[in-house]
Structure formats: structure tokens, C-alpha cells
């Protein structure tokens, strides 16, 4: 009886959050179109998947850098492999189920290298990436709310400096789909994914003598709803949901452009003017700045991710925010958040928009982002003890 009563509260809360989510999706669908309403649902499913699978980019990279455990990195390669198999044929055709589709293909230059490097440091100090910040904040991590706030601030500063960075040397965008065709691009990408996965296996075995065993999945007694999920299930879910985003939005999943938009809206509300900044003079960004924030695809999906993670956390009985945050951790969140926001603007996106969706789009800049971002993570791992003390098993904790 006691167990049933204890479960009743979280269940009621999750039902209320689910009702709020559905109501929001319906209202947005009525106001701005059915596709946008459905994208809020896709965002919520991303939030649930990220939370239940504890699918973190930051923690996976940190564990590999510090301990040479590569299970998280290999899961990312699986996610990317599924994504390119789905994305490349659609991008090569230019349409998907009647919807015109384009990928995130961006120039390769100094701004991408510097931005991804800064973002990588920010991942380790802030405690999460773009997706990680959203799903852990939604899951009740109060510290990540601090990271998110300064992520937004850094995004606005990055948009203010955007024109200067774009004036630095850069190569034209390169698309593997256009260069090799869909089939050739898939072959090249799968070869690279396999090489990275094989490298992690070699290095892990060299350090530990064998591979880390994944926790056994147990989906009895409603584990689909309460979690945890296997890491590979999270990888599959994220790839499929990114493809759903492509089908509905006509472009892949992104996160951080909304942060710049939110910050710009607040700045203008306080009396500032961003309309003369080069970043906000592009047709798409200028239109987003003039329009309601609820008409923005990335905003709607981000809100969906937060609500989805909240539902997942309450179902799991782990939604318990606390404001007891050590000062060093607060400072790391502030500095890390600023670096995350600033770096994302320079690098044409974050671990989702530039790394995941960039590589899924066949963009060479996504691979450059991966190398520079990983280097930044290596530096960030070295800086963490200045704020958090010596590494411990907590380094394996759920993180973006």
C-alpha cells in the first residue's frame, strides 16, 4: 500500500505534465500549423530518450578522455551510422514524403575550429552540451539551469561578434552527399565511424584488458516508462527522431539558434537593439526576430525536450531539484555556459546542430567540429579539478 501511495504523486505529476505538453502541441499546431505542433511532440520524445538512456555527449567524452572507456563514444557512432543511412538518400533526392529537405552544411574556417574548441571546454565546465543542458535542467538539475542561463547570454554575445568571425579565412561548404553521391557518402561515413569505434575498442582493451560490460536491460514492470534504457536504445531513438525532425521541419534537429533568439528577445525587451548586428540581418534570423518565439521550430522543440525530460524524471521518481550548489560548481556553470553559447554561434551549431546533424547532413564541417570539440573537451577535463576537486566516480554521472 505504501509503495502504491508513494508512486501516486509522481504519476499524477507526470500526467499533468503530459497534459500540458499535449495542450501546448495542440495550441501551437492550431496557431502555426500541424507540423510545428508535431515537432513539439518529437522534442518531448527526444527529452524522454535523452533522460532515460542518460545519453550524454559530455560524460561519454570525459570518461573516454580520462579513463579510456569508450562505450558512450561507440553509441554515438551507432547513432550517426543510422542517421546517415536515413538522411543521405533523402538529402540526395531533395525531398522526403513530399517535404523539401536540406541539411546543415556550413563553411569550414577559423570560426568553426575556435568555436567548437571553446564549446568543448564549456561542455566539461558547464556539465553538459546543448542537449544535455536541456534534458538535465528539465530533469530537475538546478545547476544546469545556471548553465542554461549563461548559455543564452553567451549566444547573444556570439551573435554580436558573428560578423567579425565570419570575415576570417574559411573554405566553402563541402557536402559528402554532393561530392560522392548518397551511396558514396554513406560508404565514406560508415568507414570513418567504424574506424573511430575500433580505435576506442583498441584503446580501452589496452588500458583495461577488456571492454566495459553494459548494464543489462530490464523492461519488466513498466521500465519503458520509468527507465533506465540501454545506451544503444537511446542512440537508435535519437537517430530516428532526428529523421522525424527532417521529415517534419525540412531540416535536421538543432538547439542553440533558439538560445540566441531568446537572449535577443530579452535584450530588446530591456531596451537594446540587435537588429543592426550582422547575425540578425540574414533573412531567416531577421524574420525569427520579428515573429513570435512560438513560431520558431527550434524553440518549440527545445520546450518539448524540457517537458519530456520532466515527464521522464517524474515517472522515474527522480525529479528532486536542490539549490545546494557549491560555489565552485556555480562558477564552472557560469563560465562553461558562456563558452558553450559563444562557441556554438561561431561554429554554426553545437554537438547537435553541428556534430550530430552536421555529420548526418554530410557536412565536412561536422567532422571538423568533432575534432576541435573533442580537443576542447580534453582541455576542459583538465580544468575540472579547479572547480570540482579531484575526479571521482561522479564523473560517470548522467550528463549531457
Whether 278 and 286 have beta carbons less than 8 Å apart is answered as no
C-alpha dihedral over 33, 37, 43, 44, to 10 degrees? 180
Q: Please, how many CA atoms are within 13 Å of residue 144, restricted to the half-sphere of its CB?
A: 22
Q: Distance between CA 210 and CA 262 in Å, rounded? A: 46
End-to-end CA distance of the chain: 37
Residue 53 backbone phi and psi in degrees, to 5: -90, -5
**Residue 318, pLDDT score:** 77
pLDDT at 219: 62
The residues spanned by each domain of the chain are: 10-211+224-396
Tell me the three cell numbers of residue 170: 574559411
Q: Which residues contact 375 (CB under 8 A, 6 or more apart)?
A: 117, 120
Nearest to 53 by CA among 21, 19, 78: 78
pLDDT in tens, the chain (400 residues): 334 334 456 678 888 888 999 999 999 999 999 999 999 999 999 999 999 998 989 999 999 999 999 999 999 999 999 999 999 999 999 999 988 999 999 999 999 999 999 999 999 999 998 888 898 888 888 899 999 999 999 999 999 999 999 999 999 999 999 999 999 999 999 999 999 999 999 999 999 999 988 877 666 656 777 778 999 999 999 999 999 999 999 999 999 999 999 999 999 999 999 999 999 999 999 999 999 999 999 999 999 999 999 999 898 887 777 788 999 999 999 999 999 999 999 999 999 999 999 999 999 999 999 999 999 999 999 999 999 886 544 444 444 5
Grid cell for residue 163 = 560578423
> In sequence order, what are the residues at sequence separation of 6 or more whose Cβ sits closer than 8 angstroms to the Cβ of residue 146?
325, 330, 333, 334, 337
What pLDDT is attached to residue 270?
95
Can you give the chain as a three-state secondary structure string?
Answer: CHHHHHHHHHHHHHHHHHHHHHHHHHHHHHHHCHHHHHHHHHHHHHHHHHHHCCCCHHHHHHHHHHHCCCHHHHHHHHHHHHHHHHHHHHHHHCEECCEECCCCCCCEEHHHHHHHHHHHHHHHHHCCCHHHHHHHHHCCCHHHHHHHHHHHHHHHHHHHHHHHHHCCCEECCCEHHHHHHHHHHHHHHHHHHHHHHHHHHHHHHHHHCCCCCCCCCCCCCCHHHHCCCCHHHHHHHHHHHHHHHHHHHCCCCCCHHHHHHHHHHHHHHCCCCCCCCHHHHCHHHHHHHHCCHHHCHHHHHHHHHHHHHHHHHHHCCCCCCCCCCCHHHHHHHHHHHHHHHHHHHHCCCCHHHHHHHHHHCCEHHHHHHHHHHHHHHHHHHHHHHHHHCCCCHHHHCCCC
Residue matched to cell numbers 495542440: 26
Residues 87, 93, 94, CA angle at the centre, nearest 5°?
A: 85
Predicted structure pTM score: 0.93
- β-partners of residue 363 are 175
Amino acid at each position: 500500500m505504501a509503495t502504491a501511495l508513494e508512486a501516486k504523486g509522481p504519476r499524477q505529476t507526470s500526467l499533468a505534465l503530459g497534459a500540458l505538453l499535449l495542450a501546448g502541441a495542440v495550441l501551437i499546431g492550431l496557431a502555426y500549423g500541424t507540423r510545428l505542433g508535431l515537432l513539439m511532440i518529437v522534442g518531448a520524445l527526444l527529452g524522454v530518450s535523452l533522460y532515460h538512456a542518460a545519453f550524454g555527449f559530455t560524460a561519454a567524452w570525459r570518461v573516454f578522455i580520462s579513463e579510456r572507456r569508450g562505450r558512450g563514444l561507440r553509441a554515438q557512432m551507432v547513432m550517426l551510422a543510422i542517421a546517415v543511412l536515413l538522411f543521405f538518400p533523402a538529402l540526395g533526392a531533395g525531398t522526403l514524403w513530399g517535404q523539401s529537405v536540406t541539411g546543415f552544411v556550413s563553411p569550414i574556417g577559423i570560426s568553426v575550429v575556435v568555436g567548437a574548441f571553446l564549446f568543448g571546454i564549456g561542455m566539461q565546465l558547464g556539465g553538459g552540451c546543448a542537449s544535455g543542458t536541456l534534458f538535465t535542467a528539465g530533469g530537475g538539475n538546478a545547476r544546469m539551469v545556471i548553465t542554461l542561463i549563461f548559455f543564452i547570454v553567451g549566444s547573444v554575445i556570439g551573435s554580436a561578434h558573428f560578423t567579425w568571425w565570419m570575415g576570417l579565412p574559411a573554405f566553402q561548404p563541402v557536402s559528402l552527399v554532393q561530392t560522392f553521391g548518397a551511396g558514396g557518402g554513406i560508404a565514406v561515413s560508415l568507414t570513418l565511424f567504424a574506424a573511430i569505434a575500433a580505435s576506442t575498442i583498441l584503446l580501452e582493451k589496452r588500458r583495461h584488458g577488456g571492454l566495459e560490460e553494459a548494464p543489462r536491460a530490464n523492461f519488466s514492470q513498466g521500465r519503458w516508462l520509468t527507465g533506465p534504457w540501454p545506451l544503444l536504445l537511446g542512440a537508435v531513438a535519437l537517430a530516428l527522431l532526428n529523421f522525424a525532425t527532417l521529415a517534419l521541419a525540412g531540416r535536421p534537429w538543432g538547439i542553440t539558434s533558439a538560445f540566441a533568439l531568446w537572449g535577443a528577445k530579452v535584450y530588446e525587451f530591456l531596451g537594446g537593439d540587435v537588429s543592426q548586428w550582422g547575425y540578425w540581418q540574414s533573412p531567416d534570423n531577421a524574420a525569427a526576430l520579428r515573429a513570435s518565439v512560438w513560431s520558431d521550430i527550434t524553440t518549440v522543440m527545445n520546450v518539448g525536450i524540457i517537458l519530456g525530460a520532466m515527464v521522464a524524471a517524474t515517472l522515474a521518481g527522480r525529479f528532486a531539484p536542490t539549490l545546494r550548489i557549491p560555489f565552485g560548481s556555480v562558477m564552472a556553470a557560469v563560465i562553461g555556459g558562456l563558452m558553450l553559447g559563444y562557441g556554438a554561434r561561431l561554429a554554426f551549431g553545437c554537438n547537435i546542430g553541428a556534430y550530430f546533424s552536421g555529420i548526418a547532413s554530410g557536412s565536412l564541417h561536422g567532422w571538423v567540429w568533432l575534432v576541435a570539440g573533442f580537443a576542447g573537451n580534453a582541455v576542459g577535463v583538465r580544468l575540472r579539478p579547479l572547480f570540482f576537486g579531484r575526479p571521482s566516480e561522479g564523473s560517470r554521472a548522467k550528463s549531457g
